Amino acid sequence: MAAIGPVSCTTNSVALFFAQPGSIHATSRYHARYRLQVIYNSAGAQSKSLLKFEKVDGMLSLHAVSDAFTASECALIIAAISKNPTDEALLVGGNKDHNLRKAELVWTDDVAGMEWVMDRLIELVRRSNRDRFEFDLREFAESPQVAIYKSSDSGHFAWHSDIGGGPASGKRKLTLVLQLSSADTYDGGDLEIMPGAQILAANRAQGCISVFPSFMLHQVTPVTRGIRYSMTAWAHGPAFR
């Protein structure tokens, strides 16, 4: 799949992404650049053949783009984040519980040269939301994060929802997970999503993005061999009612 360039604002935009003052961390290099972006645009539609949408028992569930990033692009991202120190992964609200989550994190706001990644993510959200979800999305209020799950400490993230009680986490509407690692470099580490009574396993293909409502329960099973790298981003809007 060819690289997708920056989103441009046009006169036939149906809805625009407005970042609220102070909603993005002051140190974010994306603050000015993504203050105004198209989320839902009638122009520049992409081929729907690139998209996969699944329903379970008629319920909204998982929207996947199998070739959102190339293998070489994923390798570039991993190499870039590997130059930065990692933080211990915490739960929503800043709590720590290794029984629920064990991973290391790098926030892409802190990594130089990640603007092209954000450009791509914004376009993927715009297309996914336009074609499938039609949520009221307004902004990206948090930096994307790269999670590193290691077999040496059984890296995992137990069942959870991404919506929290904070000013940003409380407004998460869509969750995007990018598979950065090649599937043959690790065992375990499956992203599983529970839209209803059934459990869906997300595509493990390198470069695939899975998009789903942030209120859905999901987990990453323990990694038993190797290291799994993935990137997560959230699109925000008025809280679900």
pLDDT tens for residues 58-88? 455 688 999 999 999 999 999 999 999 997 7
**Considering only 77-86, 113-122, 126-135, 169-178, which range has the smallest mean pLDDT?**
126-135
Where does the pLDDT of residue 100 fall: very low under 50, low under 70, confident under 90, or very high at 90 and above? confident
Average pLDDT over residues 39-67: 49
Whether 4 is in a domain gets the answer no
User: 85-110 as b/e, with b when 16 or more CB fall inside 10 Å?
Assistant: eeeebeebeeeeeeebbbbbebbbbb
Whether 241 is in a domain gets the answer no
Which residues span the domain enclosing 171? 13-236
Q: Is the pLDDT of residue 234 over 50?
A: yes
Quick check: 4 and 118 in contact, CB under 8 A?
Answer: no
Whether 8 is in a domain gets the answer no
pTM of the predicted model as reported, rounded to 2 decimal places: 0.76
Whether 230 is in a domain gets the answer yes
Where does the pLDDT of residue 239 fall: very low under 50, low under 70, confident under 90, or very high at 90 and above? confident
Quick check: 128 and 39 in contact, CB under 8 A?
Answer: no
Which ranges in the chain belong to alpha helices (H)?
Answer: 71-81, 115-128
Whether 66 is in a domain gets the answer yes
Whether 79 is in a domain gets the answer yes
Question: In angstroms, how far is CA 81 from the centroid of its own chain?
Answer: 16
Distance separating alpha carbons of residues 156 and 25, to the nearest angstrom: 27
Number of domains in the chain: 1
* pLDDT computed for residue 179 by the predictor: 98
Find all residues with CB under 8 Å of 162, minimum gap 6, and list them.
92, 169, 172, 175, 214, 215, 218, 234
For the chain, what is the mean pLDDT? 77
Where does the pLDDT of residue 189 fall: very low under 50, low under 70, confident under 90, or very high at 90 and above? very high
| SS3 category, 231 | strand
Question: In angstroms, how far is CA 93 from the centroid of its own chain?
Answer: 18
Distance separating alpha carbons of residues 75 and 226, to the nearest angstrom: 16
Average pLDDT over residues 127-132: 90
**Of 134, 120, 144, 133, the residue nearest 234 (C-alpha):** 144
DSSP β-bridge partners for residue 161:
none
* pLDDT computed for residue 221 by the predictor: 97
* pLDDT computed for residue 99 by the predictor: 61
Whether 6 is in a domain gets the answer no
Whether 90 is in a domain gets the answer yes
What CATH number is given to the structural domain containing 24? 2.60.120.620
Q: Is the pLDDT of residue 110 over 80?
A: yes
Where does the pLDDT of residue 146 fall: very low under 50, low under 70, confident under 90, or very high at 90 and above? very high
Neighbour count for residue 153 (Cβ, 10 Å): 13
Where does the pLDDT of residue 19 fall: very low under 50, low under 70, confident under 90, or very high at 90 and above? very low
What does each C-alpha distance from 46 to 4, 195, 237 come to in angstroms? 10, 26, 24
DSSP 196: S
